[in-house]
Amino acid sequence: MNSVIKSVAYTLTHAPDLVIHAGTTQTTERIVNPESEYLVALPKALRKYEDAVNYPPNQTYIGGMTPADLEKISMPWYENGTKSDRFGKFGEITPQEELYLVMQICDCFDLVMLEASFAAGAAKQIESHPLFTDEIKARIKPGTEIAVIENEVKENGAEGLYHDNKLVGCVKKAHSIDENLSAHVILENLVSKSTSVISMMNLVKNSGINIASVDCVIDCSEEAVGDMNQRGGGNLAKASAEIVGFTGATGFDVRGFCAAPVHAIITAASLVKSGTYKNVIVTAGGSTAKLGMNGKDHVKKGLPVLEDVLGGFAVLISENDGINPEILSEYVGRHVVGSGSSPQAVITALVTNPLDAMGIKITDVDKFSPEMHNPDVTKPAGAGDVPESNYKMIGALAVKRGELDRTELPNFVTKHGMVGFAPTQGHIPSGIPYLGFGREDILEGKITRTMIVGKGSLFLGRMTNLFDGASFVVEKNSGTTDTGSISEEQVRSLIAESLRDFAKSLGGE
Amino acid sequence: MDLENQKRVKELSETHGAENVVVILGAAEGEASGIAAETVTAGDPTFAGPLTGVSLGLKVYHICEEEIKAEVDAGVYDEQVGMMEMVLNLDEIAAEMQSIRSQYTKF
Amino acid sequence: MAILANKKIVAIGDRDGVPGPAIEEVVKTAGGEIVFSSTECFV
């Protein structure tokens, strides 16, 4: 039996000060051009937390509105936000203060120091948060005097943690000479871990799963965890699972640039289908390096710095329950060594090869989710509208194959695609952001089939010139399980239950 | 343009002579094509890389421009790039490239 | 005069446009010599 997409969570974390201090565009600029106009203009171009919450693409990512709702809002979206809630049906938008506290919670080596009054304020903030269990809160450590933190930053190579441009804490280096354990790397890894933890906390709520029944966690972010003897040694997955309290879970990491999440889901689906595990979570936290990646273009054009959030997600893949949408493990798309790197070779490998194996046409896939980069971010930066380009490529291939009339191409983009709404956090946009909506659309009978496509730029690591990518199809459940079929009545009651939960979450409970 | 790529372009121009080097771009839209083209002709407009203030004046084209299509094998072009013609805004790209070349290309 | 024939070609591709290796394949057919090829990524 195929495994199913049981539940999904998406979170964002607003991190404006990390844009300045940890985003590589900014850290590079400070080295090559320390007096630049950009660095002077940057702080004023950063958005407040409320603006990030009200920003329509962010609301879409956490499930506060659908991609169809977003499409109705005219661009630029940063000018057309409306008052919105921190919580959506899939997750939440965490403020920076809480992130720093979660980093301290996730720190198992006394490397994170927070100034006492800041730490107390953040701790108070999460007191009313419904998802922080007593076990998680018990990890909060007392704050430190600011003078000690200042000294760590000035004298001992610690990375400062800033809030509203004020030093409120630091991340210390974890080794005196090993650059893999430098303060910078530890900060990057702790942020990834923390945002993965926040996503999995939301997944526990969304799925209602008993935390003891999670068998395995797979982390598919882009960070390398390790020391000088094993750079990238890994298992951030297990480290994050420990904090959430998955005591019965093992874990491992899957890496593959922006394609890693799709590789990870394929892996998880097979592990469950084979019977090795019953419940596997695929998770990823966000990337500090990519904060403000296109900030120079945004500031130059008078836009706010839109890349001010860290992305995160968590997906629960479970045994077939006869209800939730199935992952078709036998028909995955893959870009292989010999596929070639031309755009048509890539799309053929990822899209049409698996569809040919299934004996269906491109137009038989109701929705494609290739790379859901937010065009509000990418267009002013000269990277175009990435999802739209992908839809055009898929449509163009359908034309070449005679499955679509050329004049139908614009319609294809609208009908089988959607607008991009994910932050440009590399692995985050790559296919996965639609999985939550896709699951619901299938459960509600709006669509029967979606294809999730991830692509990865392997050449950035300078080990190969190869491109990479993988895809999988998610389909309406056939309705049969190992123990028999499920009645329509049961399906209806499940849908009603999920709608009630959603209504509750809108009510702010 | 990526800093390492700028460094390589600069080094290769020194090694082979700027008059012998031709840069071919594959950028996704007009503005990005223009910025990359400007980088290898007038100098890095973002003041970030090794080509800041270095006017190499190289010959630069986008792979989808008619001038390039006229010289290459049509079958190979169709196989490697053909589909992108339905995706990219070719007129916008060509106009940007033309404008940069007419201002800054020395060869 | 030909643009590509007998020239040293630098290919700067884009992962969301035309990637470097695809440019290489095309340029080679016109007698250009690829001396460097790279693919940029804005996302």
Tokens of C34: 């690829």
Contact at 8 Å (CB) between B62 and B97? yes
Check CB contact of B48 with chain C, cutoff 8 Å. no
Q: Do B9 and C35 touch (CB under 8 A)?
A: no
Chosen from A26, A341, A344, A373 to mutate, greatest number of chain B CBs within 10 A: A344
* Domain at A326-506: CATH architecture: 3-Layer(aba) Sandwich (3.40)
Minimal Cα distance from A426: which residue of C? C43
Q: Is the pLDDT at A185 greater than 80, yes or no?
A: yes
Q: What whole-number distance in Å separates Cα of residue B105 and Cα of residue A27?
A: 32
**Which pLDDT does position A276 carry in this prediction?**
98
Question: What are phi and psi for residue A456, nearest 5 degrees?
Answer: -135, 135
pLDDT of A307 > 70? The answer is yes
Longest dimension (CA), chain C: 38
Chains that touch A (3 or more CB pairs under 8 A): B, C
* Residue A359 Cα distances to A59, A153, A353, A471, C41, angstroms: 37, 61, 10, 16, 34
Alpha carbon of B105: minimum distance to chain A alpha carbons (Å): 22
Query: Region A115-122: what's the mean pLDDT?
Result: 97
Tell me which of A207-211, A230-234, A354-358, B86-90 is least confident: B86-90
Q: Which residues contact A129 (CB under 8 A, 6 or more apart)?
A: A98
Residues 6+ apart with CB under 8 A from B1: B9, B35, B36, B39, B40, B44, B49, B51, C12, C40
Mean pLDDT computed over every residue of chain A = 95
Q: Is the pLDDT of residue A509 over 50?
A: no
Tokens standing for residue A29? 């600029």
Buried (b) or exposed (e) across B68-88, using 16+ Cβ within 10 A? bbebbeeebbebbbbbbebbb
Please check whether residue A423 is in contact with residue A381, taking contact to mean a CB–CB distance below 8 angstroms. no
Calculate what percentage of chain B has a pLDDT beyond 90: 94
- Across the interface, of C12, C22, C40, the residue whose CB is closest to B81 is C22
The torsion angle over the Cα atoms of residues A36, A41, A42 and A46, rounded to 10 degrees, is: -170
In angstroms, the CA A398 to CA A412 distance is 10
Within 8 A by CB and 6+ apart from A355, the residues are A331, A361, A362, A364, A365, A451
Cβ within 8 Å, pair A344-B79: yes
Residue A483 pLDDT greater than 70, yes or no: no
Whether residue A384 and residue B49 make contact (CB cut-off 8 A), yes or no, is: no
Share of chain A above pLDDT 90, in %: 93
Taking the CA of residue A405 and the nearest CA in chain C, the distance in Å comes to 24
Decide the pairing of beta strands A166-171 and A279-284.
unpaired
């001010």: which residue's tokens? A308
Interface check C33 vs A, CB under 8 A: no
Which of B22, B32, B36 lies at the smallest CB-CB distance from C9?
B22
Confidence of residue C43 (pLDDT cuts 50, 70, 90): confident
Q: Which among A2, A6, A59, A60 has a CA at the least distance from the CA of A369?
A: A60
Q: In whole angstroms, give the CA distance from residue A155 to residue A276.
A: 50
d(CA C25, nearest CA chain A) in Å: 9
Quickly state the pLDDT bin for A498 (edges 50, 70, 90). Answer: confident
Angstrom distance (rounded) from CA A290 to CA A305:
12
Structural domain count, chain B: 1
Q: pTM of the full predicted structure?
A: 0.93
Please tell me the distance in Å from A258's CA to the nearest CA on chain C.
Answer: 9
Task: Identify the pLDDT of residue A119.
Answer: 97
Query: CB B104: neighbour CB atoms within 10 A?
Result: 18
**pLDDT for res A210:** 97
Chain C: closest CA distance from residue B63 (Å) = 7
pLDDT band at A493 (very low <50, low <70, confident <90, very high): confident
In a 3-state reduction of DSSP, which class is residue A472?
strand
* Predicted local confidence at residue A382, as pLDDT: 84
> What sign has the CA pseudo-torsion A473, A474, A475, A480?
positive
**pLDDT reported for residue A484:** 62
* Chain-chain contact of B47 with A33 (C-beta, under 8 angstroms): yes
Burial letters A66-98, b for 16+ CB under 10 A, else e: bbeebeebeeebbeebeebbbbbbbbbbbbbbb
Residues 1-40 of C with CB under 8 A from B: 2-5, 7-14, 16-20, 22-23, 25-27, 29-30, 32, 35-36, 38-40
Find the mean pLDDT for residues A226-237: 97
- Contact status, residue A306 vs residue A376, Cβ threshold 8 Å: yes
Would you state the pLDDT for residue B72?
98
Flag whether pLDDT at A485 surpasses 70.
no
Residue whose tokens read 């896709």:
A438
Residue A391 scores a pLDDT above 90: yes
What pLDDT is attached to residue A486? 66
Q: What is the pLDDT of residue A358?
A: 97
Res B98 pLDDT > 50? yes
Average pLDDT estimate for A420-442: 97
Structural domain including B76 reads: 3-104
Residue A9, pLDDT > 60, answer: yes
Q: CA torsion, points A213, A216, A218, A223, in degrees to nearest 10? A: 100
B16 contact C CB<8A = yes
Residue A491 has pLDDT above 80, yes or no: no
pLDDT for residue A487: 67
Q: Which chain B residues are Cβ-neighbours of A383 within 8 angstroms?
A: 28-29, 32
